[in-house]
Chain A
Amino acid sequence: MDYFLQQLINGLTLGAIYGLIAIGYTMVYGIIGMINFAHGEIYMIGAFVSMIGFLLLGVLGITYVPLALALVLVIAMVFTAAYGWAIERIAYRPLRGSFKLAPLISAIGVSIVLQNYVQIAQGARVKPLQPIIKGGFDVSVTAGHQTNLSYLQIIIFLLTVTLMGCFTWIITRTSLGRAQRATEQDMTMASLLGVNVDRIISTTFVMGAALAAVAGLMVTLYYGVIDFYIGFIAGMKAFTAAVLGGIGSLPGAMLGGLLIGLIEAFWSGYFSIEYKDVAAFSILVLVLIFRPTGLLGRPEIEKV
C-alpha cells in the first residue's frame, strides 16, 4: 500500500511536468493545426535557463530560497518565451498557409538546431545541480516502508494547479482568451472580425513556451541533472499526453500528462524500468484504436 502511494505521488509529480509541456503542444495544435516539434527543445532551454539562473543568483548572493525560486521562475519564463516567440516568427509564420508538411519539417529543423546549439554552447555533458529545496514529510510509516512527500513535490503540485487556474481564467474569461478561441474555430472569420490573428498566434507560442519553461524549472529541481537531449523524450511523451487527452483540449492535456506520468511511475515501480517508455506508447496506441479523439477531445466531423 505504501509502495503504491509512493508511486502515486511520484507519478503525479512527473505527470504535472508532462502536462505543462503538453499544454504547449495542444494549444499550438488547436490554433494552427501543427505539431510544434521544437516544443520539447523549448522545455530543454527552459531547464538550462533555470539552472543558469540558480547559479547566477548564487553568485549574486541571493540565497533565500522562496525569493530565488520566484526570480528564477520569472527569468526562465521570460527568456524561454522569447525563444518561443522568435521561433514562431522566423520558422513557422512564413510557412503558414503553405502545404501541410512544410511547417512540420521546419519544426524538426528548428529542433535539431536548438539541440545542437545548446550542445555547442553548454557542452554535451550532463549538468548536475545541488538540491535546492530539501526535506519533506512522511505521509505514512509502516514496517519497513515509508511514504515520503517532499516539499519540492508539494511546490510542483501547487505551482501546476495555480498555473492551470490562471490559464483556464485567461482562456475562458479574458478578451485575449476569447480571441484565441475565435482564432481556433475559424482563422479567416476571426481576422475579418478584427482579431489580429498573427498576434494571437504569437501569444499562443509565448504562453506555451512559458509553461514549458516552468516544466523545465521543475525538472531541474526535481531530478537535479539536465543535458541537451532531455527535450526529445519529454517532448514526445508530452505530445503523447496531448493526444491521449484529446488534442486541442487544455484539461485534456493536463489529464493526459497525469496519466502518462502515472503509467510511467507504476510501470517502472512494478514491472521494469527499461520498458517504461514502451508502456506509455502502447497505451497511446490502445487509446487511439478505441477512442481516436482522445479522452476529452471532441470528434472531428470531416467535411468535403
Chain B
Amino acid sequence: MTTTPPAAAAGHHHHHPSFGHMVKDSIAAGLLAALLALPLLGFHLLDSAQGLHLDYRFPLVLWSGLVVFGGRLGLSLAGAAISKRMSARKTTSAESITGAPAKPRPWRKIAGWVMVAIALTLPLMPFSDRNLIDKATLLLIYVMLGWGLNIVVGLAGLLDLGYVAFYAVGAYSYALLSQYFGLNFWICLPLAGLFSASFGMALGFPVLRLRGDYLAIVTLGFGEIIRVILLNWQDFTGGPNGIANIKRPSFFGLPFTAVSMDGKPTFSQFFGIDFAPEHRIIFLYYLILVLALATNLFTLRIRKLPIGRAWEALREDETACRSLGINPTKTKLSAFAIGAMFAGFAGSFFATRQGFISPESFTFIESAIILAIVVLGGMGSQVGIVLAAVLLVGLPEWFRDLQLYRMLAFGGAMVLIMLWRPRGLLSSREPTILLSDCPEAAK
C-alpha cells in the first residue's frame, strides 16, 4: 500500500526515533487527549430541579492528558527497545521467514480436541458450581452463534450485521409455539431453525444480488426492523414486556421438577436420584454443548462438499466463480439460510434456558459481539472463534460488577485486537481443499 503509518515505517527501516522526537510526539498526544477530554470530561451536564446546569471537572482533563502522555512515551520507549532487538535478530534469520510455505498446523487440531475434552468434563470437575456452569452455558451460546455466523461471514464472505434477528426469530418461534400451541422444545427446535432459515431466504433473496456493503446495511436494518416489530406488536409478542414462563425443556419427556405435575415421573424419580436444581443446569449445559458441536461438525463437513467449496471460492473471487458456472445468488443464499438456521436453533435454546425473552435481548450490540467473535477469531477458524468468545464474552462476564466500564473495555479490545492482528487471532483463509500438485497456492 502507498500509505504506511509513520510509526510502522520507522520500525521497518531501522530508523529509531530519537528520545527527543518521542517526547515531542508524546506531548502532542497528551495535548490531543486533553483537547478531546475538555468538552466531555471537563464539563458535566447535571440535571436538577432548576433545569440543566454545568459542573466542572477540569482535573480530569489534566489527568487524561498526563495519562496519555505517559502511556504514549512508555509505549514508544518499549517499542524502540523491542524493534532494536528484533532488527538485530532479523539479520540472522531473514531467509527462513521469506518464502517459507504455510505449514500445516497440527496443534490447532489438538487444541480443538483439548477444548472438547474440557467442555465435556467441566460439570464433573470439583471446582465447578452452578454459577460456573451457567456462565459456561452462556459462553457456549455465543460460541454456537459464532460458528453459525462463521458460515455466512467466514466461509461465504457475506457481511451480516443483523445476525441477531435470526436468533430472535428462533427464540420467539419457540416461545410463541409453546405458548399458543403447547408444543414442546424438541418439536420446536427444528421448527425454529426452519423459521429462521426461511426468514434468511426471504431477506437474502432480494439483497444477495447486490454488493457486499449493501448487504451489511440491509441486514443491519433488518435486525432493527425485527426488534421494532417485536417491540410494537403487543398482542402477539407481548411488546416490551416480552414473554414469560416459557416451558423448560425436558429430558426426553422427563421434566426437571421436584414433584411430578401430571403423574409422569420426573427426571430424578426416573433415575432414582435425589432431586437437585443443578440437574437442569447441567442438562442445559450439555444440550448447548451438543448443539454447538453439531454446528461445528456440520461446518467442518460441509467445507469439503461442493457447496462449501463454492462458498469459499465465492468469498475469494466472485467474478471467477461466475465464469466457472457457479450461480452466486443461489450459493450465497444457501450460506445465508444455513447460517440463519443455526441462529434459530441457538435462539430457541436461549428461550428455553432463560424462560423469559424480550426484545431487549436482541439489540444490535449482540450482533456486533457475535460478528466481533467471528472476525477476531480469524474468519473461518473454528478454534479461533472459541478463543475469541472466551476473550470477549467469558472474561467480561467475570467483571459484571464493573458493568459501566465493561462495554468500554469491550469496544477498546475490539479496536486493539484489530490493530494488533487485523486478520484475527487465528486466521485461516486457506481453502479447505487444495490441488496437491500446486503447493504454491497454500501460501
Contacts and interface: CB of A to CB of B under 8 A. Distances in A.
A247 B206 CA distance: 19
Contacts of B411: 108-116
A16 to B, nearest CB: 21
A123 B220 contact: no
B82 interface: no
Interface in B2-34: 2-3, 5, 8, 32
A114 B53 CA distance: 23
B407 A112 contact: yes
Contacts of A292: 209-211, 214
B40 A121 contact: yes
B45 A51 contact: yes
A95 B422 contact: yes
Interface string B409-431: 01111110011001100000000
B45 A101 contact: no
B40 A239 contact: no
B10 to A, nearest CB: 13
A163 interface: no
A197 B216 contact: no
A178 interface: no
Interface string B388-420: 000000000000000011011011111100110
A147 interface: no
Interface string A93-135: 1111111011111101111111111111111010111100000
B29 to A, nearest CB: 9
Contacts of A91: 415, 418-419
A113 B408 CA distance: 5
Contacts of A278: 225, 228-229
Contacts of B229: 275, 278
A237 to B, nearest CB: 9
Contacts of A127: 45, 47, 52
Nearest to A282: B225
A49 B45 CA distance: 10
Contacts of B415: 90-91, 106, 109-110, 113
A12 interface: no
A90 to B, nearest CB: 8
Interface residues of B, number: 66
B35 interface: yes
B418 A105 contact: yes
A130 B50 CA distance: 11
B39 A101 contact: no
B222 interface: yes
Interface string B151-182: 00100000100000000000000000000000
B356 interface: no
A52 B419 contact: no
Nearest to A118: B40
A93 B8 CA distance: 11
B375 A281 contact: no
B368 A112 contact: yes
A206 to B, nearest CB: 13
A94 B319 CA distance: 29
B50 to A, nearest CB: 11
A117 B44 contact: no
Given A48-B40, A86-B32, A102-B423, A285 B53 contact: no
Nearest to A233: B224
B222 A122 contact: no
Which of A53, A105, A123 gathers most chain B CB within 10 Å? A105
Interface of B: 1-3, 5, 8, 32, 35-36, 38-41, 43-45, 47, 51-54, 153, 159, 206-207, 209-211, 213-214, 216-218, 220-222, 224-225, 228-229, 231-232, 318-320, 364-365, 368, 371-372, 375-376, 379, 404-405, 407-408, 410-415, 418-419, 422-423
30 contacts: A52-B39, A52-B40, A53-B39, A55-B53, A82-B32, A82-B35, A95-B418, A101-B159, A102-B423, A104-B159, A104-B216, A108-B411, A108-B414, A109-B415, A113-B415, A118-B40, A120-B404, A123-B47, A130-B51, A130-B52, A240-B221, A243-B217, A274-B228, A275-B232, A281-B221, A284-B218, A289-B206, A292-B209, A292-B210, A304-B319
User: Closest 7 interchain pairs by CB?
Assistant: A109-B414, A112-B411, A97-B1, A281-B221, A113-B411, A102-B422, A98-B422
